Structure 1
Amino acid sequence: MAQLSADRVDADRPSALLLMNARAFGDLFDPDRLSRLHGLVALGDPVRLDDLRGPDAVARLASTEILVTGWGSPVLGPDVLAAAPGLRAVIHTGGSVKQHVSPAFWDRGILVTSAADANAIPVAEFTLATILLEGKRVASYVEGYRRHREVGGVWRDAIPSAVNFGGTVGIIGLSRVGRRVAELLRPFGLEVLVADPHARHADASAVGARLVELDSMLAASDIVSIHAPELPDTRHLLDARRIALLRPHAVLINTARGSLVDTEALIRRCRLGTLRAILDVTDPEPLPADSVLFDTPGIVLSPHIAGAMHAETGRLADSALDEIERLCRGLPPVHRVEGESLGIIA
C-alpha cells in the first residue's frame, strides 16, 4: 500500500506509542520500517516503553491515539483506558491479543487489530517441514546412521515405514494456521483430515481436507498436528483416552498451546516407544530445567520457535503498518479482532 503524502503526514499525524520489549522492537522495525512508521504517526521520546508505571508513562498515555503493541507489552487494562482518553486503536504486531488487552477496550469501542494472519505463515511452514521430515522418519534414520556407521544393515528394519505417500495427516483446528497447513499439504500424496467443532464440511473441502470427528481422526492419522485455540474447554483436549487412540508409531506435533495436551499421559505413551511428539509449546512454558520432558524418549522439544522470528517478523511489522495507514486514511481495517470472537480464538 502506498504511503501517505508528505502534506497529509505533516498536517495531522496521530500520536502513537510503542509498547513492546527491546528485542521485539529491534526485530520488527528495521530502518526502513521505522521510517515508514515515523511518516505515519507522531512518536514521542522514547519511542518505545515496556512498562506503564510511573508519571512519565501516564503523561505519554494522556496524548496517545494509537498503541502499537508487541511481545513484552504490559497488560492493557481499564487503568490504561482511563489514562488514555483519546485512544482510538490498539495495533498488535503479534498473534493473540487475549492475554494483554482487556475486554474493556472492546466495550469502549477501541479498534483492536492483530498480525495473526501474518504470524500464521511461519507456523504453518514449520509444521509442514516437520510433517514431511517426520513422515519420512528422518530423525530415526539419522540417529541409526550415527550409531551404526553403515548405510544398510538390520538396524533399518526397526524403523517404521515412511508415510509421505498415501499416509494420513490429521489437523486439530481449522484455524488460520490449520487452514494454511492443509493448503500447503495439497501437492503431496497425503490424505488430510480435519477435526473442528466450529467448521463446516465445505470449509474443510475448500482447503483440500475432509472434516471428521476428533476421535475418528486420531485413530486414522499417521501424523496429527494441533492448531486449536487455548480455551477452558480445550484444556487437555488430548487426554489419556484420546492419546491412547493414536495408532502405533504415530507422530503428534503441537505448535498451538501446551495446555491442549495432558502432559503426563503423553509422557506415559511416549515411554512405551509407540508415539513420537514434536513439541514447540509445553505446559508449563517455559519448562523448568529439571522437567522430565527433556529426557523422555520419543519427545522432541523446540523452544517456541514456530512463530515469526528474526527476518520473518517483517511480515508482522508490515501488517501493523498497513493497518495504521488504513486508520489514518479512514479506511476499514483488514485484521480487526472482534470482541465477540474472543471466546473461540487463540
Structure 2
Amino acid sequence: MTRKIVVQIQQNELSAFLEPDVVEKLKQVGELVLNPYDRPFTPTELMSHLGNASACISTWGSLPITRDMLDSAPKLELVAHMAGSVKHIVAAEAFDRGITVLSGGHAIAESVAESIIALILAVGHRVKLVDESMRSGVSWKSIAMEADELRGKTVGFVALGMVAQEVIRLMRPFHVRFIAYDPYMKREKAAELGVELLPLHDVLKRAQVISLHLPMIPETDHMIGRDELRLIQDGCLLINTSRGSVIDEQALIEELRTNRIFAALDVFEQEPLPLNSELRRLPNVLVRPHIAGVNPSSRKRIGRSLVEDIYRYWHGESVQHGVSKVRLALMT
C-alpha cells in the first residue's frame, strides 16, 4: 500500500520551504497530499486527509493535530513541524502512541544565533544612533566615540539551549568570556562549551552582554524583574530573543529611561508591540518584530533537514531532529 504524507503548508508558501529537489526526495518515501489552497486546511479537511496518512508536515499557521484527529489517524507514524515549538501543533498523546515528532528548531536556532551577534555588534558600535545622527545632520563624532568592541567582553547567558550554544560557537573568535545561569545544565557539558556556571544574580552582575534564552513557562514569568534589572552593570546590553514574558517590560522601560543600560528586543509581552509603547521611542533600545529566526534561508534549511529526517525514518535510520516528551514540556 502506498504511504501517504499530508503536507499542510499552504500552496503559496510551499516553495519557501521545499525546493524542487527536496520535493522529489520526499516523493521517494510516499505519495504527497498537498494543500491546494492559499489558506490552512479546515479541521474537517485535515481530519479527512489524516484518515489514511502515515505522516503529516506542518508549519507556522497550520492546524494542530488534536487528540480527536489522532483518534481518526490510526496509521499516523510521524509528524514533521517545519517551525519551532511543537507544543501547540500536536497533542501530547502523540508521544504516548509512539508517533515520531520532528521540529525545525535546530535550523531556526542558527538564524537566531546569527541575529543575536548582529544585535550585539550593532548596539556596541552604536550603528542606530550614528545613522540617525548622520541623517539629521548633527555631528556624529561624539556618539561614534562611545562605541565599543565585543572583543574581550564577558558574555552571560540565562539558559543554555540550542540558540545559546550556537551563539557561543559563533562568538569564539571574539575571545570573550562566557558565564551562564542554567540549573539544568551539567557542569561537564558547560565545561565542554567553555562556560562557567553561576547563580543568576552573579551572571547579571558580572556580564557586559546578557542574552536571555528562557522558555515561556510559569517559572520564568517576569524572571527578570525590577530587582534583577538593577543588578545589571552600567553600559550592559540586555538581549531578549526568547519570549517577552520573561522580562517585566514596565520595569525594563523604567530602567532604560535612565540611559544606564542598552537593550535589543525581538519579543515583547504583547505582540505585535503596541504603537504607543515607549520601547519604540527610547534611543537606547533596538526593537524588532519577533523575526530573529525566520528568513528565506532558514525556511529552506528547515525544509531540507526535516525531509532528510523523514527519509532517514523510513529507511530505518535514526532521526536527528526528534522531539521527546520531556523536551516538549520545556517548549513554549
Normalised by the length of structure 2, the TM-score is 0.92
Distance 2:168 2:12 in 1: 32
**Which of 43, 51, 69 is the equivalent residue of 1:80?**
69
The answer to whether residue 6 in structure 2 is matched with residue 17 in structure 1 is yes
C-alpha distance in 1 between matches for 2:226 and 2:144: 31
Cα distance in 2 between the residues matched to 1:186 and 1:263: 31
Tell me the secondary structure at the aligned position of residue 185 of structure 2. Answer: coil
CA distance, structure 2, for counterparts of residue 22 and residue 221 of structure 1: 46
Mapped to 1, the partners of 2:208 and 2:133 lie a distance apart of: 21
For residues 324 and 34 of structure 2, what CA distance do their matches in structure 1 show?
A: 32
Q: 1:155 to 1:319 in 2, by over 3 A?
A: closer
Alignment partners' CA distance in 2, 1:84 and 1:97: 18
Question: What secondary structure is seen at the aligned counterpart in 1 of 2:239?
Answer: strand
- In structure 2, how many angstroms separate the alpha carbons of the residues matched to 1:132 and 1:209? 21
1:68 aligned onto 2:60: no
Number of aligned residues: 331
12-21 or 111-120: which moved more?
12-21
* CA deviation map 1:102-127 (0-9, x unaligned): 11111222111112112211111111
Q: After the TM superposition, which residues 1-346 of structure 1 pair with which residues of structure 2 at under 5 Å, given as runs?
A: 13-22=2-11, 24-44=13-33, 46=35, 50-54=40-44, 56-147=45-136, 149-150=138-139, 152=141, 154=142, 159=146, 162-346=148-332
Distance 1:295 1:305, change over 3 A: same
Q: Against the structure 1 CA distance between its residues 345 and 197, is the aligned structure 2 distance closer, same or farther, given a 3 Å change threshold?
A: farther
Query: Would the alpha carbon gap of residues 40 and 308 (structure 1) be closer, same or farther in structure 2, given more than 3 Å must change?
Result: farther
Shift of 1:155: 5.4
Which secondary structure state, in structure 2, belongs to the residue aligned with residue 171 of structure 1? strand
Residue segments in structure 1 that go unaligned for 5+ positions in a row = 1-11
Distance in 1, matches of 2:300 and 2:117, equals 21
Secondary structure of the 1:113 match is strand
Amino acid in structure 2 at the alignment position of 1:337: V
TM normalised by structure 1 equals 0.88
CA RMSD after TM alignment: 2.2
Separation (CA, whole Å) in 2 of partners of 1:286 and 1:22: 26
- Which ranges in structure 2 are unaligned for 5 or more consecutive residues? none
Given that 1:281 and 1:304 are in contact with CA atoms closer than 8 Å, whether structure 2 keeps it comes out as: yes
Deviations 1:128-151 (A, max 9, x none): 122223233333333344445546
> Which residue identity lines up with residue 104 of structure 2 in the other structure?
A
Q: Does structure 2 retain, via aligned residues, the 8 Å contact 1:114–1:337? A: yes
